Amino acid sequence: MPERIVVVGSAQGLHARPARIFVQEAARQPVPVLISAGGKAPVPAASILAVLALGAGHGAEVTLSAEGEHAERALDELAELVARDLDAEEPGGAGAG
């Protein structure tokens, strides 16, 4: 199963707005994506409650994983998103277009 280990770039971690942006993008992917952090079991990346429950703060390492024909592309896109400081971006800047 392909994986990406990424450091959370958002100043507030994967909470509130950054989590919402990440979850929306994960839900748009053509394959199911899992995310884990802090030794916790992987959870669906498209679930806001599950992502928030991970408690992944700024600088935390998260692991993204997926299986399927487009898994590599999906993981690359989501890894890039997690690494950015989504708190510092203008609303509509991430995933717009």
pTM: 0.89
> What CA–CA distance (Å, rounded) separates 42 from 48?
13
For residue 64, being part of any structural domain is answered with: yes
For residue 96, being part of any structural domain is answered with: no
Count of domains for the chain: 1
- Residues annotated as part of the active site: 15
pLDDT for the residue numbered 89: 79
Residue of 50, 59, 75, 70 whose CA lies nearest to 11: 59
For residue 88, being part of any structural domain is answered with: no
| Domain carrying residue 34 | 3-83
- Dump pLDDT digits (tens) for 33-87: 999 999 999 999 999 999 999 999 999 999 999 999 999 999 999 999 999 999 8
